[in-house]
Amino acid sequence: MSQTTKRALEASLKKLLLEKPLNKITINDITEDCGVNRMTFYYHFKDIYDLVDWILMEDAAKTMEGRQSFDTWTEAFLDILHQIRDNKALVLNVYRSVGREQVEQYLYKLLDSMLKEFADRECRDITVQDDDKQFVVDFYKYALVGVVLEWIRRDMKTEPAVMVERMGRMLQGDLRRALCRLASNKIHLEQDG
């Protein structure tokens, strides 16, 4: 029952976000739309921002667990951009109302696990210390989050496929090269110039 109530509160907030900005939505608006009382809301969340945070983290978890296996990081990244765009009203409202920190945390969670998966694939035949591998993952994660935040700031006008194609051309093979440079068994560096 608890998850059902949380999902109903989530649906009401998302519906209301299509009508007005987050900072104009009250707990009363959400509970009236949802058909529950205010105490039920407070049983689950301390305030609207707590609900927003829960929605973003739940969406991130659903995205990661429900996603298919991708052959390339660009395919996975494109899927993430589509997920963000599917939640455009929520993401834009959160970004504009509460600032970018909640959106950043959401993106870090999405991109960290995706990049770790691809870094692990690239390290199958090389030995890279875990802290070096995480350093490379963090570097790419922060770069990609920066690009996505700017895309959000510009109202997601650029098509995700166009963004990913540009980044794919620009970064092709760089994840592997970065990991190879940090490898303790220093083989497979023939791609380096």
For 4, other C-beta atoms within 10 Å of its C-beta total: 8
CATH 1.10.10.60 domain range(s) in the chain: 1-45
Q: What is the pLDDT of residues 114-135, one digit of tens each?
A: 888 888 888 888 888 889 999 9
Q: Write the class of the CATH domain 1-45.
A: mainly alpha
Question: Could you say which DSSP state residue 145 is in?
Answer: H
Question: To which residue do tokens 């023939």 refer?
Answer: 190
Report the candidate in 60, 63, 46, 43 with the shortest Cα–Cα distance to residue 3.
43
Q: How crowded is the C-beta side of 14, counted as CA atoms within 13 Å?
A: 15
pLDDT at res. 122: 84
Q: Which residues of the chain have pLDDT under 70?
A: 1, 63-64, 66-68, 99, 185-193
Q: What is the pLDDT of residues 171-186, one digit of tens each?
A: 888 888 888 888 875 5
153: left (phi over 0), alpha (psi -120 to 50) or beta: alpha
pLDDT at res. 161: 96
CATH 1.10.357.10 domain range(s) in the chain: 46-181
- Asked whether the beta carbons of 128 and 183 are under 8 A apart, the reply is yes
- Asked whether the beta carbons of 16 and 97 are under 8 A apart, the reply is no
Does 1.10.357.10 match the CATH number of domain 46-181? yes
